[in-house]
Amino acid sequence: MKRLAQLAFALSLLALSIESYAQNTFHLKQQTLPNPDNEPAPVHPVPHERQLLWQETEFYAFFHYGMNTYTGKEWGYGDEDETLFAPTALPDPAQWLKVAKAAGMRGGIAVVKHHDGFCLWPTATTTHNITRSGNAYGQNTNIPRDFAKAAVQLGMKYGFYISPWDRNSPYYGTPEYVSRVFLRQCAELAAYGTDQFEMWFDGANGGDGYYGGANETRSIDRETYYDVPNLRDSVHKVCPDCVLWGVGGEARWIGNEAGWAGQTNWSPENRGVAPENNGMYGSEDGWFWLPGESDAKATNKGWFYHDGESPLPAERLFQMYLETIGRNSTLILNLPPDKSGKLPEATVDTLEKFGKLLKKRLSKDLALKAGITASGTRAPGANRKYAPSNLNDGDKDTYWATNDSETTATITLSWDKPQTVRYVALMEYIRKGQRIRSFRIEYSTDGTTWHPAAPGVECTTVGYKRIIPLNGSTARSYDNGIRAKAIRVTILDSKACPLLHTISVY
């Protein structure tokens, strides 16, 4: 009897636990299924949080400075005597960054080791570094230290260019180079600041060089040689927001050094699938997020400083801005410091002029005081609304969307009095993927009849940001402007319901 009672008790316990297991499981399902905010499902691939932060940096400087500044070369062979590095004054990264800031840039990347292998910090990995340089200015400098410090003081983002290819190292081409030199150098650089936003790894890999006196050609397999998974992992442990560019596989080269991206430019990308080298355009059906960065020179000679060089006109820099940042790419604009370790006066002047131009043309957002309506708006959720007013509330975290079934829509901005307008900027809410395939912009002088704007512009993708010159020309975009009482953006095709977080009109 007692046994039976025990058995019955055990069975009832078992039944109870099965029931509570079932209830919990059911409960779990109940918790994951509902979508109280009626949020649209993501369209994959989507960016990693660090890629998003990186895309928001938009515009930053490149500073090519090092051994080549003193030898007049673009690619040092690796046999340069360290004493050739002899700045005529103490290099001044704070000056570099101040100039970049005045030009409207949000950060900068300093070259701290180019292909010649000469390191601009006192590294433990090689004697080919500034401690052996030709004078006290050289010996006392430490570019990553001073650059990071200045950036933090100026409230700017910062990072470093470290060339994987090293024409000085006797180990280059062997596994020793990767584990004893390259990865350690990256780890040393990571220690100069946990808030770095990008590490730049150039694509020029292998070829002829000094290699400790061997004077030969060495080639490597770029896909496997640098132990990229380990590199990414170790840098991210120290610098979680640092995007590893190029060889690092988190952002892509835009495919030219002339300061332009495709008008159609997808952040998704494929690898190993034709067409290859899709830098300018990305891939609509790409399976991973690999946003583009355009590297371009603000001067008329090399990446490094050369006697007799001059900066490009501010208007040309503005065109580059529209054709890169305005086409879903970031822009890293090169400013070469000269032999004194400072940016020359002519560069300082032009960049200041450019900064003013940028401010005049793209900072007074007329959308902020416009009335805004949309042909369709997604049904609101408990804590989120998708109203068109999200488009001009100055908040990048609120967005307008349509219902799932709608992939076309028209958004209209109107003013009480006619405005002079020249540019329209659109920003997708890319956290949930890049969607828009094509759109159209029109303007109205009376609010009822509509005229096409932006003749000849391919209004295809949007992505993180698209800036459309309404007169159709990126080269001569700042004309007399169009007088308009209203602007209308029609989304004609989208992978799924479109999501925009901002529309600006300038």
Please, which residue, 276 or 345, has the CB nearer to ligand FUL? 276
Distance, first Cα to last Cα, the chain = 89
CB-CB contact of 60 with 110 (8 Å): no
Residue 333 β-bridge partners: 61, 296
Please, which residue, 74 or 365, has the CB nearer to ligand FUL? 74
Q: How many CB atoms lie within 10 A of CB 20?
A: 11
In the complex, what is the shortest distance from the CB of residue 60 to ligand FUL, in angstroms, rounded to a whole number?
A: 13
In the complex, what is the shortest distance from the CB of residue 165 to ligand FUL, in angstroms, rounded to a whole number?
A: 8
Q: Mention every residue, 6+ apart, whose C-beta is less than 8 A from residue 69.
A: 304, 305, 336, 337, 338, 339
DSSP assignments along 75-134, one per residue: S--S---GGG---SS---HHHHHHHHHHTT--EEEEEEE-TT--BSS--SS-S-BGGGSS
For residue 495, count CB atoms less than 10 angstroms from its CB and return exposed for 0-12, middle for 13-18, buried for 19 or more: middle
Residues composing the chain:
506
Please, which residue, 218 or 378, has the CB nearer to ligand FUL? 218
CA distance 157 to 92: 17
Q: How many helices (H) and strands (E) does the chain have?
A: 11, 21
Query: Looking up tokens 């007799």, which residue turns up?
Result: 308
In the complex, what is the shortest distance from the CB of residue 253 to ligand FUL, in angstroms, rounded to a whole number?
A: 8
Please, which residue, 303 or 439, has the CB nearer to ligand FUL? 303
Closest CA to 505 of 451, 442, 460, 458: 442
User: What residues line the site for ligand FUL (CB under 6 A)?
Assistant: 74-75, 202-204, 295, 303
Q: How many CB atoms lie within 10 A of CB 315?
A: 14
In the complex, what is the shortest distance from the CB of residue 125 to ligand FUL, in angstroms, rounded to a whole number?
A: 20
Peptide bond into 275 cis (omega under 30): yes
Please, which residue, 182 or 400, has the CB nearer to ligand FUL? 182
Please, which residue, 223 or 257, has the CB nearer to ligand FUL? 257
Residue 423 β-bridge partners: 469
In the complex, what is the shortest distance from the CB of residue 341 to ligand FUL, in angstroms, rounded to a whole number?
A: 18
CA distance 154 to 97: 8
Please, which residue, 208 or 479, has the CB nearer to ligand FUL? 208
Please, which residue, 165 or 429, has the CB nearer to ligand FUL? 165
Please, which residue, 42 or 72, has the CB nearer to ligand FUL? 72
Please, which residue, 116 or 338, has the CB nearer to ligand FUL? 116
Please, which residue, 89 or 204, has the CB nearer to ligand FUL? 204
* Chain-centre distance for alpha carbon 25: 42
In the complex, what is the shortest distance from the CB of residue 299 to ligand FUL, in angstroms, rounded to a whole number?
A: 13
In the complex, what is the shortest distance from the CB of residue 304 to ligand FUL, in angstroms, rounded to a whole number?
A: 8
CB-CB contact of 215 with 160 (8 Å): no
CA distance 176 to 82: 23
| Amino acid at the residue 167 | R
In the complex, what is the shortest distance from the CB of residue 76 to ligand FUL, in angstroms, rounded to a whole number?
A: 10
For residue 282, count CB atoms less than 10 angstroms from its CB and return exposed for 0-12, middle for 13-18, buried for 19 or more: buried
In the complex, what is the shortest distance from the CB of residue 203 to ligand FUL, in angstroms, rounded to a whole number?
A: 6
CB-CB contact of 457 with 469 (8 Å): yes
Rg (Cα) of the chain, in Å, rounded?
Answer: 27
CB-CB contact of 204 with 115 (8 Å): yes
Residue in the shown chain whose Cβ atom is closest to ligand FUL: 204
CA distance 287 to 271: 9
In the complex, what is the shortest distance from the CB of residue 246 to ligand FUL, in angstroms, rounded to a whole number?
A: 9
CA atoms within 13 A on the CB side of 195: 11
Please, which residue, 204 or 368, has the CB nearer to ligand FUL? 204
- 424: part of which helix (H) or strand (E)? strand 423-428
